[in-house]
Structure 1
Amino acid sequence: MSQAPVPPVPATSVEAIERALAVDGHVFVEAPAMRRLLEAAGPLSDWAAFTASWDDMPVDAFMADGGRYRRRRYAVFAADAVGIERQPHQPHYQGLEYNRLNGGVARWFEPVADAIAQGPSLQAALRCCHALFGKLAPQARRWHVELHQFRIEAIPGESGKPTPEGKHRDGVDYVLVLLIRRINIASGTTTIHSPDDRDLGSFTLTHPFDATLIDDHRVFHGVTPVQPIDPAKPAYRDVLVVTFRAIAD
C-alpha cells in the first residue's frame, strides 16, 4: 500500500531555502523565516496599506468556468543587474499546455496601483525573488517578471478555487506564492506533484507571510478549494504570486 506524502519540513534560513529549492524544486517557508527574508531585501513599512490593497480588486472576467470567486490585479516588471523596472501594462498570456481552463487567450487585468507597485513591501518582495532566483540561475541576465494579486472568495454554495485549472505549471522558471491574509476559510491546501504525477508533499499557507517557492520546470502545484467556516461572514484567501522567467540574450 502506498504511503501518503510526507509534509515538507519548513526551511528556516536563506541557505536552507536555497538548498531545498535547488535539490527538491520546491520549498515551504513559514512566516517568521519568510518575513526575515523579505526584510533583508527592504523595509515593509507600508505593509498595512499593501495588505489593504487587496480590498478593492475587480472580479476576474476571464474565468472559463463562469466562476465569480476570483479577483485580481496584475503588473509586469523587467529585472537585470541594474535593477527592477515596471513595464507598460500588457496582457497576461498562458498557452493551453499550461492552463487548460483559461489559456490561449490574452487576458487584460486591471493594473496593480502605482503606489503599491512602487511601495517598499512589494519592492522588497521583488528584490528578494531577484536575489534568490538569480543565485539559482546565475546564467540568467534578464528576467520577465509577472506579479499577480489574487483574492479567492469562498461564497456559500460555491467553493473558491485558488487553482481552477487544477495541478499545473505556470510556464515560467520560478514562482513565489506569498500568503497575505486568510479570513474565515477552511482548506486551501497546497499540493506539490512530480511531472509523472507523484505526490511530493502538501501544506497549508495559514499565517500572513507563509510562502512557497517553486522551480516551475521541475514540479507541478495546485491548491484545494476553500469553503467558508461561517457562511454568514466574508471568507477569502489573499495571496501575492510573483513569477520570474529568464529572457534569452
Structure 2
Amino acid sequence: MPEELRGNALLLRLLRWDIEQVLSLKNLGRRPLWAGVHLIRLGVDRPGQDAVSSPNCLHQDGGSASTFTFAHLISRTNVTGGQNVIATPGSAGLQPEDPWADIHAGFTLTHPLDGYAVHDHRVSHYVGPVRAGSEPGPGERSILIVGLAPYVPQL
C-alpha cells in the first residue's frame, strides 16, 4: 500500500469498523490482532480487455481458522463484471460456473463502500473478471481488503 494512504482517515475508519465487528468473538476480543490491509486495483485500458484477479478461481485466503476477511469497494469506473461469489470451502479451486461448485451467494459491488465480510475458514470466495465499460477511456475497480486474525508471535 502506498505510504501516502497509510494515514488516510477513511482507511483508518474502515479498519476500526472492521475490528469492531470481530471484537466480541471468542478468540479475537481477548488478544492482540493481526491486520493485513491490501488495496487491489483491476484496470482495463480498452474494449475487449479483461482484468483478472489472482487466483482466478474460488479460493480461501488461508492462515488461522479465526481469520475474517472484509472487502470494501473504493471505486468502480467504466467497467462491467467483477461479480463476487461466496461458496462452500469444498468449492475452492473450482470456477463458479462449474456444476459441482456449491454457491451460497453471488453479487456485484457497485457503489463506493459497498462491501462484505467472510469467515475465511468456512467459505471460499471469488471475484470475476472486470471488462471495459461503454464509456470511452480506461476503467478500473479498486477494493480494500482487510484480513483480521489473532496475532501469534513467530519465533
TM-score by length of 2: 0.80
Following superposition of structure 1 onto structure 2, how do residues 103-114 of structure 1 map, counting pairs within 5 Å?
112-113=2-3
Equivalent position SS for 1:123: helix
Q: How many residues align?
A: 138
TM-score by length of 1: 0.51
Q: Which amino acid aligns with 2:11?
A: L
1:143 and 2:33 are equivalent in the alignment: yes
Equivalent position SS for 1:153: strand
Q: Which amino acid aligns with 1:230?
A: S
The aligned residue for residue 6 of structure 2 is 117
The aligned residue for residue 203 of structure 1 is 107
Q: Which moved more, 1:181-190 or 1:132-141?
A: 132-141
The aligned residue for residue 152 of structure 1 is 42
Unaligned runs of 5+ in 2: 92-101
Question: Cα distance, 1:127 vs. partner?
Answer: 1.0
Question: Is the 8 Å Cα contact of residues 185 and 229 (structure 1) preserved in structure 2?
Answer: yes
Equivalent position SS for 1:196: helix
Question: Cα distance, 1:183 vs. partner?
Answer: 0.5
Question: Cα distance, 1:152 vs. partner?
Answer: 0.4
Question: Cα distance, 1:138 vs. partner?
Answer: 4.5
Whole-angstrom CA distance in 1 between matches of 2:51 and 2:151 = 34
Q: Which amino acid aligns with 1:162?
A: S
Equivalent position SS for 2:12: helix
The aligned residue for residue 16 of structure 2 is 127
Whole-angstrom CA distance in 1 between matches of 2:126 and 2:8 = 29
Following superposition of structure 1 onto structure 2, how do residues 38-57 of structure 1 map, counting pairs within 5 Å?
none
Unaligned runs of 5+ in 1: 1-72, 74-111
The aligned residue for residue 221 of structure 1 is 125
**Higher share of residues assigned strand:** 2
Structure 1: 4+ residue segments shifted above 6 A: none
Higher RCO structure (Cα 8 Å, ≥6 apart):
2
Following superposition of structure 1 onto structure 2, how do residues 33-72 of structure 1 map, counting pairs within 5 Å?
none
Identity of aligned residues (%): 28
Equivalent position SS for 2:121: coil
